[in-house]
Structure 1
Amino acid sequence: MAEIVIRNTNERITGDENVRNFLNKYEVLYENWDASKLNTDLQNNFGLTDQQKEEVLKTYDYEIRDLAARRGYQIWDVITLSEQTPDIEEKLAKFEEIHTHAEDEIRAIVAGKGIFVIKATDDVGYFNVELSPGDVISVPENTPHFFTLMENKQIIAVRLFIEKDGWIADPYPDPTFIKQA
């Protein structure tokens, strides 16, 4: 279950309904998939082969197709990141730059954990959405944000795209953003 941390105040928002209500204010889609559907061997493997990634997609085929039909997604894939990912620090540095997209950015976390950092209104500032297995989130188009991993640096996520070119980021320089240690 996702939790939210408002970065300016360190206020923590917990509980499915509270998280959903907060995210709805910013038009962030938040849903849940059954994380227990995924084979345990795949849940604990953060170096998936292409064949194993296909197994993940088959496991969540119904959920993916339902979401694609409702929101217009055309393609999808599986991304896995961990300490064993080549150039993990360089990849994280790229992910951790504030940016926007011409389409929403959606992730369904099926194993591991990650954080979306999203810009809200000026009075709220940025907030973290800490995601766990089963959490599905979609950051609206043109919303400043970035994604990073939690301390253990392990995640498997399904990504869906409207644009067939996939993940295209537009940098969003923001002098008001303060990176937390």
Structure 2
Amino acid sequence: MAQIRIRNTNERITGEEEVRSFLDQQGVLYEHWDASKLPEELREKFVLSDEEKATILSTYDAEIRDLAARRGYRTWDIVALSEATPNLEELLKKFEQVHTHTEDEVRAITAGEGIFIIKGTDDVGYFDVELQAGDVISVPENKPHFFTLMDSKKIVAVRLFIETEGWIAHPYEDPTFQKA
């Protein structure tokens, strides 16, 4: 279940309804899908064949299509990252820069864990959204953020896009951002 840490105060927000309410106030969509739907053999697997990726997409087809219909997403895929991913550290350096997009950045976590760091309203500042299997988040277009892995360095997620070529990151320079 997702948890939030507000960086300025170190306050933690837990519980599905509390997390959803906080993120809603920040303009960020949060949902929770049933992680137990995923076949057991894929729940802790982070190097996936095309067939296994197709199984994940098939397992969550109804949820994906529902979200896509509500939000205008037209294409989706699977991303799997782990210590077995070639050049993982280089990939993470690219991810770990505050940026924006001209469309939502959506992740539905099916295995592992990850973290979005998002710029909130002026009274909140930056906050971390720690995500686990079943958590679904949509960071709206033009909202400064970045995504990275947690200490386990393992994640599988469904990504949804409006543009068929995927999103492009636009760097966002912010002197108020502090890595922590």
> TM-score when scaled to structure 1?
0.98
* Superposition deviation, residue 49 in structure 1: 1.1
Secondary structure at the aligned position of 1:113 is classed as strand
Q: Measure, in 1, the Cα distance between the counterparts of 2:28 and 2:144.
A: 12
Deviations 1:73-98 (A, max 9, x none): 11000000000000000111111110
Deviations 1:79-121 (A, max 9, x none): 0000000000011111111000101111000100000000012
1:88 counterpart residue number: 88
Residue 150 of structure 2 is aligned to residue 154 of structure 1:
no
2:24 partner amino acid? N
Q: Measure, in 2, the Cα distance between the counterparts of 1:124 and 1:34.
A: 30
2:60 counterpart residue number: 60
Q: Measure, in 2, the Cα distance between the counterparts of 1:102 and 1:70.
A: 18
Aligned length, in residue pairs: 180
1:120 counterpart residue number: 120
Structure 2 spans left out of the alignment, 5+ residues:
none
Deviations 1:154-179 (A, max 9, x none): 00000000001102111101111111
Q: Measure, in 1, the Cα distance between the counterparts of 2:16 and 2:172.
A: 30
Percent sequence identity over aligned pairs: 68
Q: Measure, in 2, the Cα distance between the counterparts of 1:127 and 1:115.
A: 10
1:22 partner amino acid? F
Structure 1 spans left out of the alignment, 5+ residues:
none
Secondary structure at the aligned position of 1:168 is classed as coil
Q: Measure, in 1, the Cα distance between the counterparts of 2:113 and 2:126.
A: 19
Query: Once superposed, what is the RMSD of the aligned Cα atoms?
Result: 0.7
> TM-score when scaled to structure 2?
0.98
Q: Measure, in 2, the Cα distance between the counterparts of 1:121 and 1:64.
A: 29
2:36 counterpart residue number: 36
* Superposition deviation, residue 124 in structure 1: 1.4
1:19 counterpart residue number: 19
1:43 partner amino acid? R
Q: Measure, in 2, the Cα distance between the counterparts of 1:94 and 1:176.
A: 20
